[in-house]
Each structure stands twice: as structure tokens, then as C-alpha cells.
Amino acid sequence: MITFRPEHLAPLEGRRVLDLGAGGGRHAAWLRDHGALVVAGDLVVEPTDREGVDWVRLDGAALPFADGSFDVVLCAEVLEHVAHPAQVVREARRVLAPGGQLVVSVPSAWPEAVCWALSLEYHAVPGGHVRIWTLAGIRRLLEAEGFRVVARHRRHALHAPYWWARCLLGVERSGQDPRIEWLGWRLVKAAVGEAPLLARLETLLDPVLGKSLVLYAEAAPC
């Protein structure tokens, strides 16, 4: 299940890509499978698939790489968690080669606001979401740090009602609810192409209900 749209990515074959805040590595594995030379990093490294990916424990605010080390930096669902997002974006800009691409995703503002309203547990936990990003806010941040946004879209529309249901039932408790578990697996099947009708419905709903906001930006000349 990937958050970005491949048609908006720079060419990947043989390109150096940093998956910043890689989590379990779902994006890193996809990038590797499409020919990229992938470095994946997070504060805690717990990948589900290590093969062909260079995993590094790192802090996004102080990346352990030389200037211009990467052609593409992916930062998916990270900036809502960090105390100093400008520093993370600044570091991404530093490690990008001239003309490099930054791909950022954050939770969309209004579906996220509903989650916050429904459940304190959703965000008031260690490592949880510390802010709600608007489109204008994330665009301002990227432009202030030397990027030009060239494309954007929303993604994962059906994840919004899924998370609203979890917030209503209790985020932790609902994780053990068989109804919620079934819905979660249906969403995964849609994302990987095994539930085409559901995937089509999600695509139709993405522009208004998409749980994730994705932006594609170019590093402006220094």
C-alpha cells in the first residue's frame, strides 16, 4: 500500500532515494522493486523486509548524510509527529542533489480534525500527532525551505471512516475488534489491487475524503 502516485515520481531506476521516517518499510520495498537505490531510516528501525534496502537509525532533524546525497527524498506521514518540522524539511533539502525531488504526505486537515474531535487517545500519546496541517500551511513550509510544489493530491479516502470508527470505539480497544480488523483488511486488499470495486470507490472519493495529502516538490536552485 503506497501513498504517493507513481506517475508523479521522478524516474527511479538507479536513482538514490531516501525514505525518511520509513516505519516498517512499505514504501522502501516498493521503491526498491522499481529500481531505486534505497536508504530507509527512522528513529526505531523495525523493517518487515530488509532485503535490498540500506536501513539506518536516524533523526530527521540531523541526517547523517553528506550534502546532495540523494535524488529523491520521501517523507510520508512524518511531519505531523515532529516538534520542529522546518528543521526536518531543511535537512531533506540539504541532502537532495540539485534538481532533486521531495515527496511529502501528511494527514489531510478535515479528516484529521474529526479524529482529534472524536478521540483524545488518537493524538495525545507519546509519538502521536502534534499538529494538524492545512494545505496552505504545508505549502508555506516547503516554499520557505527552498522547494517549489509542482503537484498535489489526496489519497486513502476510505481510511478516513476507518479511523473515525476506531476513534469512536477507542483506538486501542478497536484494534482487537473483529469488525474493525475485517475493514482494515478490506482496505489493504483494495490498496494492493485485490478488491477492484473498493479501490475504484476510494479513487472517486479521494479528492474530498482522502485521509492523506501528498505534495511533490522540486528543490529550487540555491
| Crossing angle of helices 159-169 and 109-118, rounded to 10° | 10
Name the residue among 38, 37, 81 with its Cα closest to residue 59.
81
Q: Give the pLDDT band of residue 198 (cuts 50, 70, 90).
A: confident
For residue 222 the three cell numbers come to 540555491
pLDDT tens for 170-196 read: 877 766 666 667 666 566 555 556 667
Alpha-carbon span 8 to 6, nearest angstrom: 5
Give, as one character, the DSSP assignment of residue 59.
-
Backbone angles phi, psi at 2, to 5 degrees: -110, 150
**What's the longest Cα–Cα distance across the chain?**
53
Alpha-carbon span 8 to 106, nearest angstrom: 17
For the chain, the distance separating the N- and C-terminal CA atoms, rounded to the nearest angstrom, is 35
Domains in the chain: ranges and CATH: 6-219 (3.40.50.150)
Name the residue among 208, 77, 209 with its Cα closest to residue 130.
77
For residue 9 the three cell numbers come to 515520481
Q: Give the pLDDT band of residue 46 (cuts 50, 70, 90).
A: confident
Q: Model pTM?
A: 0.90
Q: Pick the range with the lowest mean pLDDT from 124-128, 131-135, 143-147, 175-179.
A: 175-179
pLDDT reported for residue 217: 98
Q: Is the pLDDT higher at 218 or at 173? A: 218
Q: Give the pLDDT band of residue 215 (cuts 50, 70, 90).
A: very high
Paired sense of beta strands 37-42 and 53-57, if any = parallel
Alpha-carbon span 217 to 64, nearest angstrom: 22
Alpha-carbon span 207 to 41, nearest angstrom: 30
Half-sphere exposure of 33 (CA within 13 A, CB side): 10
Range ranked top by mean pLDDT from 94-108, 125-139, 150-164: 94-108
pLDDT reported for residue 170: 81
Q: At residue 129, does pLDDT exceed 60?
A: yes
